[in-house]
Structure 1
């Protein structure tokens, strides 16, 4: 009888421990949800976005290629447990930021999938221009503890948030490579639990900002411009990226000749 009582008590203790563990993710998720919803909401004029070639606020013929890219990124991220993706280019003016913004709004349409976007092209921040927003805070003040993140980051709708900068950041390479930046990103991930964090980064060959920052991310997506980015430059950048992080893929931007194998070219819409 005594052995039975011991077994019963042991089983009860295990059951109570399992019940407590089962409740923990719900509590954490609830807190993360509250933190996310507490971010100030940013209202964006859709016509402004369209004028800046951001076409993915709604699902349509113009969004289809970005939606396909979104799905491929999401699938690879889930498969490899990647949360942080850097958007990279070899040089400037290839459409990197526009591609990122279209991807961001495409991800923003996914239900129950929170995406947080960071403008880390700190020498020439331009994401706020595409969104026609005038931020009053800077990411360096957030990382260095002078401004709370919740006063800096803005939420667009339910599933998308942006960290924007109004002007260039001094000592950008040192900031991006600092231990403070690493701690900051870990803290954001723990508190808000976004499924994906996307980073607009400086051109890889222009400065050492991106090279030093890539240790903080899981994978990089390379944007190249059709008929302008040299093939040998693509090879060099892809090789450098592969030495620093995982290469998610290469996006050929501004292409005048559609891929004949892509179903997005069919008259679906």
Structure 2
């Protein structure tokens, strides 16, 4: 019995003394992450934009739903070996960009998750204004492969980076479906080794931009607005997406009458 206890103690000491094994890819990816400039959004702006990350007075209950969404998304994506997730909506005004940012913040509250959110809604970009980025760069140069992600993206926390557009573009679908875009995304994934790549894509029924881009992603979340998006629009959008890639689920946003009895607790 004493020999067994001594062996267990020796094994424990060995485990405690041994540093964790870190792959070369992780080391290289971490170095590139550190090179990305840091941007801390203004606290008042975060609250005004309903963003649940960083310094905020928003109640814990306000972002609990995004934590539930995060857990479900991670479980499904890991089970299928997926890494690229697009967020879209049937029409404009459903809150897909806010959902994309909040999902990114929620994802990276977990220490084992890193995420890069890339703006692919190039006709009406909004990510820079939502996080208060005064001088956004040209994300199109990154998607064309003419510039590295570091020339555009900024880190909102240690593991969440956002690449945004400096202004609207006309007819971006040619770029979004091009081989150059595919190569650029592959290079970003290889270089930065994020757990997930998120993409804020245009509404499906506005133009063909999202359909052009779906070949580059593994799955899609469809954001619908309560009392605005119709069942017919959701059904048509799901069928459209499923002909190109996987529908991960539908998120109901802007619900004015939540069922409070399902809440876990009240917060002061």
* TM-score, reference length from structure 2: 0.86
Q: Which residue of 2 aligns with 1:211?
A: 211
Q: For 1:228-243, what aligned pairs fall within 5 Å after superposition? A: 228-243=228-243
Q: For 1:1-269, what aligned pairs fall within 5 Å after superposition? A: 26-57=23-54, 60-259=60-259, 262=262, 265-267=263-265, 269=267
Q: CA deviation at 1:169?
A: 2.3
Q: CA deviation at 1:48?
A: 1.3
The two structures, once aligned, show a CA RMSD in angstroms of 1.9
Q: Conserved in 1, the CA contact under 8 Å of 2:121 and 2:202?
A: yes
1-structure distance, mates of 2:235, 2:228 = 14
1-structure distance, mates of 2:136, 2:62 = 32
Q: CA deviation at 1:137?
A: 1.7
Q: CA deviation at 1:145?
A: 4.0
Q: Look up the SS of the partner of 2:205 in the other structure.
A: coil
Q: CA deviation at 1:268?
A: 5.8
1-structure distance, mates of 2:67, 2:266 = 14
1-structure distance, mates of 2:88, 2:65 = 19
Of structures 1 and 2, the larger Rg is shown by: 1
2-structure distance, mates of 1:239, 1:205 = 13
- Of the structure 1 ranges 163-172 and 89-98, higher mean CA displacement relative to structure 2 is found in 163-172
- Give the paired residue count: 245
Give 5+ residue unaligned stretches, structure 2: 1-20
The 1:183–1:145 alpha-carbon spacing in structure 2 relative to 1, beyond 3 Å, is closer
The 1:217–1:75 alpha-carbon spacing in structure 2 relative to 1, beyond 3 Å, is same
Q: CA deviation at 1:141?
A: 1.7
1-structure distance, mates of 2:239, 2:148 = 37
Q: CA deviation at 1:61?
A: 1.6
- Of the structure 1 ranges 106-115 and 199-208, higher mean CA displacement relative to structure 2 is found in 106-115
2-structure distance, mates of 1:143, 1:96 = 21
2-structure distance, mates of 1:105, 1:118 = 14
- Of the structure 1 ranges 91-100 and 38-47, higher mean CA displacement relative to structure 2 is found in 38-47
Q: Conserved in 2, the CA contact under 8 Å of 1:143 and 1:180?
A: yes
The 1:260–1:48 alpha-carbon spacing in structure 2 relative to 1, beyond 3 Å, is closer
2-structure distance, mates of 1:70, 1:143 = 26
Q: Look up the SS of the partner of 2:39 in the other structure.
A: coil
- Of the structure 1 ranges 120-129 and 251-260, higher mean CA displacement relative to structure 2 is found in 251-260
